[in-house]
Amino acid sequence: MIMEIGIIGLGKMGGPIASRLLDAGYRTHVFDARREAVAAIVRKGGLPTLSPADLASKVETVLVSLPTPEIATEVALGPNGVVEGHKVKTYIDLSTTGPRAAAEIALAMAQKGIATIDAPVSGGVSGAEKGTLAIMVAGPKNLCDQLRPIFGVIGKYFYIGNEPGMGQLMKLANNMLSATAMAASAEVMVMGVKAGLDPRIMIDVINAGTGANTAIRDKFPKAILNRTFDYGFSTGLMYKDIMLCLDEAERLRTPMRVCNTVRQLWSEARGHFGPESDFTTVVQLVEQSAGAEVRPPLA
């Protein structure tokens, strides 16, 4: 059983994942460009490293959790990247990078004798903290099955297929639906409130009916009704995932009429509030146009 592991990227998702691995008894080597992120995990027992190559020279199994395809590719294949490590045998990418970046990284890793597992996750920060993420795993079946104890610490294992990028395609489909639910829910909730409906009752009815979705179930009660807008995922990253999905659909010559309209709303939100804004602020874009806010009525 693998009991020594490395993880690169200690952000909102990678940090909790590293903590869970430590709690599960894994000797966990870590790297992040931000010293404060490394320090937080070192205080919990993590072992700091100097670079992705240094980390990959200390362990056979490396996980990465990174925000964009460009950063993931640089960490994997760039100067001092994972590919330059002399001990690593398995590279597991938990990021959302899209199928083409996944295939490029897998090919370069294979030339160095490193197996690549495509394993993007869904479930948000709370899922990372609780170990309830959905993990969309693609790669050689035998190897993926051998790694199930690691995935079991993180969440629920779904084997998608053996080709690099198949997990990424599954993740993009999931996030496109999530983005669509958030955009459509923002519009109907603002419409209802402007007409005089209590948003709390709207949420209860929709969750009990056929319109139920994760935006109404989770995002509105936890980050919109209370006006905190702090669910933990950025508008910029959501827009990135939407564009990766639409790029892949174009490559596959698959029509995405509804999803292209959804992209327009998220593009406006990104431009208006900035890429670092919490993705729940998309509702504010609709509120500003309608002149109504989704908040409980005054007693």
Query: What does residue 135 show for φ and ψ, rounded to 5 degrees?
Result: -115, 120
Strand, helix or coil at 239?
A: helix
By C-alpha distance, which of 54, 268, 292, 103 is closest to 192?
292
Percentage of the chain lying above the pLDDT 70 cut: 99
Beta strand ranges found along 115-217 (DSSP E): 115-118, 121-122, 133-138, 155-161
Q: How far is CA 244 from CA 97, 125, 183, 226, in A?
A: 8, 21, 18, 31
Q: How far is CA 247 from CA 94, 99, 128, 216, in A?
A: 20, 10, 28, 28
Q: How far is CA 11 from CA 34, 107, 124, 249, in A?
A: 9, 27, 12, 29
Beta strand ranges found along 103-169 (DSSP E): 115-118, 121-122, 133-138, 155-161
Q: Rounded CA gap, 188 and 160, in Å?
A: 34
By C-alpha distance, which of 174, 170, 181 is closest to 280?
181
Residue-level pLDDT at 299: 60
Q: How far is CA 1 from CA 5, 25, 26, 61, 267, in A?
A: 11, 12, 10, 12, 45
Tokens standing for residue 60: 């056979």
171: annotated active-site residue: yes
Tell me the one-letter amino acid at 143: L
Whole-structure pTM over 0.85, yes or no?
A: yes
Tokens standing for residue 219: 């995002």
Residue-level pLDDT at 164: 87
| Per CATH, domain 169-290 is 3.40.50.720 | no
Q: Rounded CA gap, 240 and 175, in Å?
A: 10
Q: Rounded CA gap, 164 and 54, in Å?
A: 25
Q: Select which of 171, 194, 222, 240 is catalytic.
A: 171
Residue-level pLDDT at 7: 98
Residue ranges in the chain whose pLDDT is less than 50:
none
Long-range contacts of 211-214 (CB under 8 A, 24+ apart): 213/181, 213/185, 214/178, 214/181
Domains of the chain by residue range? 4-163, 169-290
Q: Rounded CA gap, 14 and 30, in Å?
A: 10
Burial category of 255 from C-beta neighbours within 10 Å (exposed 0-12, middle 13-18, buried 19 and up)? exposed
Could you tell me the CATH superfamily of domain 4-163?
NAD(P)-binding Rossmann-like Domain (3.40.50.720)
